[in-house]
Structure 1
Amino acid sequence: MEDLTAVSPALQRYRDQTVEGDLWMRPELSPRDRSLVTVSALITANQSAQLPHYLAKALDDGVTVAELSEIITHLAFYAGWPNAMSAATAAKDLFTARGIGADQLPAAQPELLALDEVAESARQNTNQQTYGAIAPGVLHFTTDVLFRDLWLRPDLSPRDRSLVTVSALVASGQVAQITYHLGRALDNGLTTAQAGETLTQLAFYVGWPKVFTALPVVKDVLENRPT
């Protein structure tokens, strides 16, 4: 990035003054949360060139090695297997450079968090009634792998796992899925102010059009949420 002035002095000014000097300093999200959002967006968009810098920044901002590992694992299901594999390659180089060993990584099969049986039963029944005759295999893996395993892994909190998921959905333009997952994020402890500021952060890393496409859905969820 030292060569940025040779390409676009204006872009360097925006980076220095607006992104690093303003956006990342806004108090509505902690630097750690901003790193969670940004890393999730970059993995989703398969931005391999930028990812090593932001993975390192995430560690410096307080994201743990175990949490980074879990983000990559989680996004294999929400951003696609190839994107997660690319992110794993970038993370491996960083972990090696920092002397991070296997003892700092989450277990392949840890003791899972408790399942909310009522909420999971309602989700499963709704999906079964709507899509059971169309794609039973998708529903099988959705229940057994995602909601009865992945979402219950303990090394990324439910709140942060939801934040990662919502960030990935906005980054990939999957607005139809935002309603459910943003509601889940709020249930898991994300505040409405943090939800709004997540969009602000994402605007710079996935572009204004995707954020403005997501805004009506986010607005609807926040305005219609029971108080």
Structure 2
Amino acid sequence: MSPALADYTQKIIAGDLWSRPHLSARDRSIVTLAALIARAQTIGMPHYFNVALDNGVTPTELSEIITHLAFYSGWSSAFFAVEVLKGIYSARGIGPDQLPEEPVEHLPIDEESEALRAATVQENFGEVSQGLVDYTREVVFRDLWLRPGLTARDRSLITVSALVASGQQAQITYHLNRAMDNGLTQAQASEMLVQIAYYSGWPSAFSAMPVVKDVFADRRKRAGSAG
């Protein structure tokens, strides 16, 4: 149907992209799935869910990725992914015993940092939508982000990938800074954009580039001032 597409897929996607340095195959799987789920691109999910499992992403982590992205990409996008993953778990013999039981024991929270974040959001948006501010505080940051099925670094990588893939530039600055505070390196963040370009399109990646550039510059400036 498309010989050129087949050629690019074989030579670049399979032959080069997935073996580039700075992102592990596991990380590339996480970024790719975040992009596919954010854009509800179910046609690619069966292959890349299986690739992720082969690359060391655990069933618990896959389930947590979908749950996390329900908040950042919408419930319907998450349920599209659930329908695909259900068949893969069945085919691989992955049952409930390999998934976390609810309720989970949450990770500890940095109360000082969270209090500052919550106060800033309250001041800026409390008069716009107090309900959204309350859910953001209590459900997103005092519950979702503290679930133990993913590391903070991986949650951040998933979040930023989904934001870039779905063109949500206004949210990238905060979450990319949070990702780098959680251990994502500049080289890894840069390579994430390369991966996103192939799975969400060049415009998605390039639209995020000015924001990412500013985050990198600001962090270098702050690091220089601190030194």
Alpha-carbon distance in structure 1 between the residues aligned to 2:103 and 2:192: 31
Give the Å deviation of 1:27. Answer: 1.4
Corresponding residue number in structure 2 for 1:148 = 142
Q: For structure 1, which runs of at least 5 residues remain unmatched after alignment? A: 1-6
Alpha-carbon distance in structure 1 between the residues aligned to 2:14 and 2:21: 13
Corresponding residue number in structure 2 for 1:3 = none
Give the Å deviation of 1:108. Answer: 2.5
Alpha-carbon distance in structure 2 between the residues aligned to 1:108 and 1:173: 33
Q: TM-score, normalised by structure 2?
A: 0.96
Give the Å deviation of 1:40. Answer: 0.5
Alpha-carbon distance in structure 2 between the residues aligned to 1:121 and 1:69: 29
CA contact (8 A) 1:38 1:205 kept: yes
Corresponding residue number in structure 2 for 1:205 = 199
Runs of 4+ in 1 over 2 A off after TM superposition: none
Matched, 1:192 2:186: yes
Matched, 1:217 2:211: yes
Alpha-carbon distance in structure 1 between the residues aligned to 2:18 and 2:100: 28
Corresponding residue number in structure 2 for 1:94 = 88
SS of 1:134's equivalent in the other structure is coil
Give the Å deviation of 1:107. Answer: 2.5
Q: How many residues align?
A: 221
Corresponding residue number in structure 1 for 2:29 = 35
Alpha-carbon distance in structure 2 between the residues aligned to 1:20 and 1:163: 22
Alpha-carbon distance in structure 1 between the residues aligned to 2:101 and 2:168: 30
Matched, 1:111 2:93: no
Of 52, 76, 79, the match for 2:73 = 79
Give the Å deviation of 1:109. Answer: 1.7
SS of 1:159's equivalent in the other structure is helix
CA contact (8 A) 1:69 1:106 kept: no
Of 59, 64, 68, the match for 1:65 = 59
Corresponding residue number in structure 2 for 1:164 = 158
CA contact (8 A) 1:70 1:106 kept: no
CA contact (8 A) 1:162 1:185 kept: yes
Q: TM-score, normalised by structure 1?
A: 0.96
SS of 1:49's equivalent in the other structure is helix
Segment of structure 1 superposing worse, 79-88 or 106-115: 106-115
Code of the aligned partner of 1:16: Q
Q: For structure 2, which runs of at least 5 residues remain unmatched after alignment? A: none
Of 5, 9, 12, the match for 2:3 = 9
SS of 2:23's equivalent in the other structure is coil
SS of 1:202's equivalent in the other structure is helix
Segment of structure 1 superposing worse, 67-76 or 108-117: 108-117
Q: Aligned residues: percent identity?
A: 58
Q: CA RMSD in A?
A: 0.6
Alpha-carbon distance in structure 2 between the residues aligned to 1:77 and 1:160: 15
Give the Å deviation of 1:133. Answer: 1.1
Give the Å deviation of 1:49. Answer: 1.2
Give the Å deviation of 1:134. Answer: 1.1
